[in-house]
Amino acid sequence: MGNQGSATITITAIHLDWPSSNDDLEKIELRDTTIWDNVDHSPPTDISSGWRSGASRSIGPGESARIDFRFNRDASGGGYSLSLTLNGVCSVGGGQ
C-alpha cells in the first residue's frame, strides 16, 4: 500500500475476511516485520489492539509498504475482503 499524502499514516485497525480453507490467520506483516501474531482460528478477523510491541504500523509520506497475511495453510486465490483503518479515521479496502 502507498501513502501519497504529506503526513505519516498508521494502521489502527484491520478487518479481514478470508476463506475458511486457509485455516488459521497466524500473523500479519508490514515490510516483512510482524505487526500482529495473536492467531485467529476462523474468519472474519477484526483487529484494533494486540499489536506487536515495537513493530511500526506507520508509512511515511511518499512511501509504500507491502502488507502480508500469513495463514496456517496455503492461501486460496480468492474470497478475501480487507478494510484498513488509518489514523483512526480513514478506511480503505477491497476484495478478491
Q: What pLDDT sits at residue 95?
A: 84
Max Cα separation, the chain? 40
What are the structural domain ranges in the chain? 9-87
**pTM for this prediction:** 0.91
Digit-by-digit pLDDT tens for the chain (96 residues) are 999 999 999 999 999 999 999 999 999 999 999 999 999 999 999 999 999 999 999 999 999 999 999 999 999 999 999 999 999 988 888 887
CA angle (76, 92, 24) in 5-degree steps: 30
Cα dihedral 74/71/24/31 (nearest 10): -170
- Neighbouring CB atoms inside 10 A of 95's CB total 10
pLDDT given at position 96: 79
Alpha helix locations (H) across 7-58?
none
Find the distance separating the first CA and the last CA of the chain, reported in whole Å: 16
Q: How many CB atoms lie within 10 A of CB 71?
A: 17
Residue of 71, 69, 65 whose CA lies nearest to 10: 65
